[in-house]
Amino acid sequence: MENMMGKMTLAKHKPERGFTLVEAMISMAIGLILMAAMASLFKTALNSTMLVTQRAETQQNMRAAIDLMVKDLSMAGAGLPSGGIQLPTGAGNNGSSKFGCDQTGACHVPAYLYPPTNYMYGIIPGYSNGVEGSAVIPAAPAPVINDSVTSIYCDYNFPLWEYDVTFVGATGGQISLAVDPLYAASPPPAINANGGIQVGDLIMLSNNVGTAVGEVTNITATALTFADLDPLNINQSGAASNNIKYIIGGAKTVAYRLFAVTYYLTVPAAGQTPRLMRQVNGLTPVPVADDIINLQVAYDTYTAAALDANQANPLGVGESPNNIQKINLVVMGQSITNDGNKSQNMYLATDVAARNMAFRNRYQ
């Protein structure tokens, strides 16, 4: 029976091998290493993106600031008499006049008086005079030097010269303005129109006797008042010379609005970051750019046919601002976006030619 039935045999199955514990641990370790490498690459990519973002916004912020500064500095001295303007002097004067101050009497740079002898140059350097209230900017690199700079030039956008000027009274405290008949067919805007003259503006008056400057203290549609005790101490009718009263007897007086533009840094209250400010004449200053932590200005001057390049303090070494030929600007900004507590700082530098320092518009 056994032979007849034959033998029934079962197929043999080969046992399947799995991972050993060691192999599993090695695989896990390799996987962890790969995951760590991927995480590191991802973090590096994030850091690179943040770095590019910080640098791009910082550079854009600084360029906006530099562009406006270059515009004002390139105009320095335009329309002023060659060498600048002597402000009130002599017996009866009330001390030096001011710049960088507003109508509230607040002065926004530590040293705000015109240089010795009360002289208005086209450019007024402000070595180590660049932070309002002498506030500390911890992020500024050592040695901590922040400068201000003031550029003064005629405003040719508002055609004040198209008015005939008549002095009212004997003290130079007021002038009346009537449109010159030459321009009657296409008259200029009213002096108190939008974009026109404001209280605190500086007016340059020139005739055959000389040139004087007044600060506007009141405006009507036909007159400007220059009262004494003005915030900028420009209107000094009691001074013996170089005030408006001194030129009253001249013929054909022509008026121009001046812009005295001061750039400086301020540290706002409530923990806000430093910002670059622009202050014009005796008006309220306005912010130009946030997160500007350093402003340094140097000058190329020519004295006795010799070049003094990158002079940071011309007044301090006895050089006249009238000898300035080029202004060298360095602005340092801090990124507005922070990566945790990390910020990026960047420098931006440029040069500005002082081509108008000896310019006078003889066609008007």
- The pLDDT of residue 363 is 43
Would you state the structure tokens that stand for residue 142, as one six-digit string?
A: 């050592």
Amino acid identity of residue 117, one-letter, is T
First to last CA, the chain: 139
The overall average pLDDT reported for the chain is 88
Domain ranges of the chain: 63-295
Tens of pLDDT along 127-185? 999 999 999 888 888 888 999 999 999 999 999 999 999 999 999 999 999 999 999 99
Q: Do residues 253 and 207 lie in contact, with contact meaning Cβ atoms separated by under 8 Å? A: yes
Q: What is the pTM of this model?
A: 0.84
Show the beta-strand stretches assigned E in 8-160.
85-86, 119-120, 123-126, 148-155
Residue identified by tokens 């990124």 is 335
Can you tell me the distance from the alpha carbon of 197 to that of 281, in angstroms, rounded to the nearest whole number?
11
Tens of pLDDT along 9-60? 656 656 666 678 787 888 888 888 888 888 777 777 666 655 555 556 666 7
Can you tell me the distance from the alpha carbon of 206 to that of 244, in angstroms, rounded to the nearest whole number?
10
DSSP label of 339: B
Cα four-point dihedral sign 298, 303, 309, 311 = negative
Can you tell me the distance from the alpha carbon of 251 to that of 235, in angstroms, rounded to the nearest whole number?
21
Query: What is the average per-residue pLDDT within 334-361?
Result: 72
